[in-house]
């Protein structure tokens, strides 16, 4: 009997040690290892805007009023100054490229200008004010389905225009989805016919339909802060966290799937092309190029994260039980010896 109790005690001890070491061996799915920094491009200036065409990367030089163009490997192709007039000049903020046109937001002059690919001015629209088609510190721009969407920051709304700059519609950015409160939008991304809007001051992302009806806010984590640029692909949301100096990857529910740290200093914009991610690292005067995993890898990371959380629950519940059993067995064994 004593030999049996001693053997049983040894088995229980071994099992307890295995459980403890297993819990230590589990790691979170969030990891920079899934992203590799491939290269970086020097912009030599403070830059905010970033966009792509079919085979080129466009960077807006916000100080010198230039457009810098690179290939997707970071090689300089050309650059040019924008052909401005006195009605719509000033530093460039957001840009987007669509159908051989460059759409540029001039934040400090409250207007949007449209250029050809050589920088020749084709059209301009907007002026300072609160009326329809007027802006107060516009930030970023998106073209979708022959419409132009502009984040009108201090007017706390999104404005919609046709491709020639004629006003079509607007909708207010609601505070917590309520009509009686409004928020300042920074960037937007249109994905699956829904508009995702970043709200840096509220540390939120809100979602609207294409007509501007509020749908929902993403349930982001408590440490989610200062969301700026946003890009979405394969049901994954890539967000530049300015104050956090990192890139966050979320699923469409707002759950954190991955995060990237790379000595960023106030990253502002993100664009995705094929299997690469381009991050405008504003105060480092860089565009950083990363490889990104395929969607199957993301699903793997998300499943690992869920498994990690399940293991945490199991160990919180069962380890105290195992320890209690261990001491009961030990006490029983000592009593048998006495």
pTM here is 0.79
pLDDT digits (tens, 9 = 90+) for 72-109: 999 999 999 888 877 888 888 999 999 999 999 999 89
Q: What are phi and psi of 85, to 5 degrees?
A: -125, 180
CATH architecture of the domain formed by 42-292: 6 Propeller (2.120)
**Helical residues (DSSP H) of the chain, grouped into ranges:** 2-25, 295-337
Closest by alpha carbon to 295, among 241, 233, 203?
Answer: 233
Average pLDDT along the chain: 84
Tokens coding 315: 């160990």
pLDDT digits (tens, 9 = 90+) for 123-153: 999 999 999 999 999 999 999 999 999 999 9
Percent of the chain with pLDDT strictly greater than 70? 77
């Amino acid at each position: 009997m004593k030999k049996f109790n001693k053997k049983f005690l040894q088995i229980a001890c071994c099992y307890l040690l295995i459980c403890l070491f297993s819990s230590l061996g589990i790691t979170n799915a969030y990891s920079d290892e899934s992203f590799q920094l491939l290269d970086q491009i020097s912009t030599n200036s403070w830059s905010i805007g970033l966009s792509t065409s079919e085979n080129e990367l466009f960077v807006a030089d916000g100080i010198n009023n230039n457009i810098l163009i690179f290939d997707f490997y970071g090689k300089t192709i050309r650059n040019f100054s924008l052909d401005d007039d006195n009605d719509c000049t000033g530093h460039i903020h957001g840009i987007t490229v669509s159908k051989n046109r460059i759409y540029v937001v001039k934040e400090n002059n409250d207007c949007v200008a449209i250029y050809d690919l050589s920088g020749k001015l084709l059209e301009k629209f907007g002026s300072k004010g609160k009326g329809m088609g007027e802006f107060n510190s516009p930030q970023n721009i998106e073209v979708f389905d022959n419409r132009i969407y502009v984040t009108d920051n201090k007017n706390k709304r999104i404005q919609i225009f046709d491709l020639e700059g004629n006003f079509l519609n607007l909708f207010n950015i609601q505070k917590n989805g309520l009509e009686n409160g409004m928020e300042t939008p920074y960037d937007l991304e249109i994905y699956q016919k829904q508009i995702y809007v970043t709200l840096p001051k509220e540390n939120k992302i809100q979602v609207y339909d294409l007509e501007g009806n509020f749908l929902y806010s993403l349930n982001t984590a408590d440490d989610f802060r200062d969301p700026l640029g946003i890009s979405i692909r394969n049901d994954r949301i890539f967000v530049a966290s300015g104050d956090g100096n990192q890139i966050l990857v979320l699923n469409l529910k707002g759950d954190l799937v991955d995060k990237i740290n790379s000595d960023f200093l106030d990253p502002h914009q993100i664009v995705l092309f094929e299997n690469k991610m381009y991050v405008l690292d504003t105060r480092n005067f860089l565009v950083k190029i990363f490889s990104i995993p395929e969607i199957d890898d993301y699903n793997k990371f998300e499943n690992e994260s869920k498994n990690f959380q399940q293991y945490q629950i199991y160990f919180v519940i069962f380890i105290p039980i195992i320890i209690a059993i261990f001491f009961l067995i030990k006490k029983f064994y000592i009593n048998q010896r006495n």
